Structure 1
Amino acid sequence: MADISVGVSGWRYASWRGDFYPPGLVQRRELEYVASRMTSVEMNGSFYSLQRPSTYLRMVEQTPDDFPIAVKGGRYITHLKRLVDVDTPLANFFASGVLALGHQLGPVLWQLPPNLPFDEERVGNFLGRLPRTTGEAADLAAGHDDKVPEDRSLVEAEVEGRVRHVLEVRHPSFSTDEAVSLLEHHDIGLVVADSPGLWPHLERATSDVMYVRLHGHTELYASGYAPRSLDRWADKVRGWHTEGLDVFVYFDNDARGRAPHDAVGLLDRLAH
């Protein structure tokens, strides 16, 4: 059976405290609270820097066994290296503790910068290097360098399973059949990115994952989603689920604290 997972992109935001988070809730219990109200979360700290195995282990300890955790790939790979010469950076990323999530590992999100146009060779070479099982990820992780010290690395997979990847594109040149076909060939999900007209909005199923990132209805990272808009998204999610796709939806409109409320609102609609 296909699954539907709904949550937020990140969870440590000061503006949520005393609003979505109850007054007095200690910071170390914020993820636990998110997991009590939602069905998944997207970790975005991994985009900015390499994490530690202990970080991922704490996430497992604070969430239910059936709570998938999507992980955002490092910007060093996507924005600085721009997908080129990334074997060691990929090894470092997977050695930094990702495998500690075990069966809770959700899709790995790779977000491309807006100034990176579609190049079939560049993108195809990158997609072809991505590990598709936790065993392959462990083998890749073993090639890490000293950016991930041995005492802060994890290069073994205790749980054998799939590693699924999704790609969020932000350059209009990806709005082509060629780009879609390349993702289909590599079995990589194409992210549905809802932004206020800034980036391509593509709703094409290129794998068995439909991954949605809602960045704000009218104002990037800030505006909330009106009830009618949430109704429409609920209808879309039900449709993709009926098609047999695993659907992951993450709200990223966190600047004014709307993300968690919108996530709960969408879940309420999907429950009825």
Structure 2
Amino acid sequence: MAGRIRVGIGGWVYEPWRGTFYPAGLRQKDELAHVGQHLTATEINATYYSSQKPATFAGWAKAVPEGFRFAVKASRYCTNRRVLAEAGESITKFTGQGIAELGDRLGPILWQFMATKKFDPDDFAAFLKLLPASVDGVPLRHALEVRHDSFADPAFLAMARDAGAAVVFADHDEYPAIIGHDVGFAYMRLMRTQAEEPAGYAPAAIEGWADRARSQAQVGDVFAFFISGAKERNPAAAQAMIVALK
């Protein structure tokens, strides 16, 4: 059965979106609801920097419609460390902070690693074993964003596949575009939007991302996020891709 394709942006609080993506005069507390009306997913970035309260996650879930999904960026204390095998306590704290309150609005967990982090097979294998399959009865899906060329290694790809974790495909000037095995869902981060393009990417490029998503959706859900680059263009890029998918 084909999966669903969800397209979004990073976060929802960004001043340059006010008066462009967000209508002039829209209250800041209504911005997430606006995202929910016009896009189908967003990444929560605040969780990368600090813990949030369960009530906060519950409020976010209520602000968006059925079918919308939040990808949750894992705490930097889990991934920005020399020995990943020692991340257990941080992972438990992150997953236990209240993300289960998102319920059926919860998408994948994004585990982002610094560009200087190299592939250490033993250490990374130990890290993957620390990732829980669920929290408070809510199933978890894990996506790994690695940014060093050493991860373009069949051993890493097999390790991620065996753990059921997706390897994030990154469109970026410096990070490697690593393609992982099929694990039932796919995750793309598209980071080269340009200010001179009204929709961030040229129309042909948007169509190309839509085609890629359609192909991946044949085997599972797809999450595509327009991140960084010319950030002011990212909502327009996401909306253009949603139109291209129709």
TM-score class, shorter: over 0.9
After TM superposition, the structure 1 = structure 2 runs for residues 1-272 of structure 1, keeping only pairs within 5 Å, are: 1=1, 2-80=3-81, 82-133=83-134, 137=135, 157=136, 160-196=137-173, 198-217=174-193, 224-242=200-218, 244-253=219-228, 255-271=230-246
Residues 258/218 of structure 1: CA separation in 2 closer, same or farther (3 Å cut): closer
The change in CA–CA distance for 1:110 and 1:77 in structure 2 (over 3 A counts) is same
Which structure: greater strand fraction?
2
| Letter of the 1:123 counterpart | F
Instruction: Output the CA distance in 2 between the equivalents of 1:119 and 1:263.
Output: 35
Q: Answer whether contact 2:192 2:230 (CA < 8 A) is retained.
A: no
Counterpart CA distance in 1 for 2:83 and 2:200 is: 32
Q: Are the counterparts in 2 of residues 224 and 253 from structure 1 also a CA contact under 8 Å?
A: no
Secondary structure class of the residue paired with 1:237: helix
Which runs of 4 or more aligned residues in structure 1 lie more than 6 Å from their structure 2 counterparts after TM superposition? none
TM-score, with structure 2 as normaliser? 0.93
**1:118 Cα deviation from its structure 2 partner:** 0.4
Query: What are the Cα deviations for residues 74-132 of structure 1, in whole angstroms up to 9, with x where unaligned?
Result: 11111146523112111111221111111211100000111110011111111111111
Q: Deviation per CA, 1:203-222: give whole Å up to 9, x if none.
A: 23341111000111469xxx
Q: Which residue of 2 aligns with 1:142?
A: none
Alignment CA distance shift 1:81-1:30 (3 Å)? farther
Q: Is the contact made by 1:188 and 1:206 (CA closer than 8 Å) also made in structure 2?
A: no
Change (3 A) 1:96 1:254: farther
Q: Deviations over 1:138-158 (max 9, x none)?
A: xxxxxxxxxxxxxxxxxxx3x
Distance 2:229 2:14 in 1: 8
Give unpaired runs (5+ residues) of structure 1: 138-156
Partners of 2:204 and 2:66 lie apart in 1 by 33
Amino acid at match of 1:164: R
- Among the aligned pairs, what percent are the same residue? 35
- TM-score under structure 1 length normalisation: 0.85
CA distance in 1, matches of 2:185, 2:59: 26
Instruction: State the SS of the aligned residue for 1:84.
Output: helix
Deviations 1:184-227 (A, max 9, x none): 1111100001102x0110223341111000111469xxx92111
Equivalent residues, number: 242
Q: What is the CA–CA distance in structure 1 between the aligned matches of 2:39 and 2:111, rounded to whole Å?
A: 23
Query: Once the 2 structures are TM-superposed, how far is the Cα of residue 256 of structure 1 from its aligned partner?
Result: 4.1
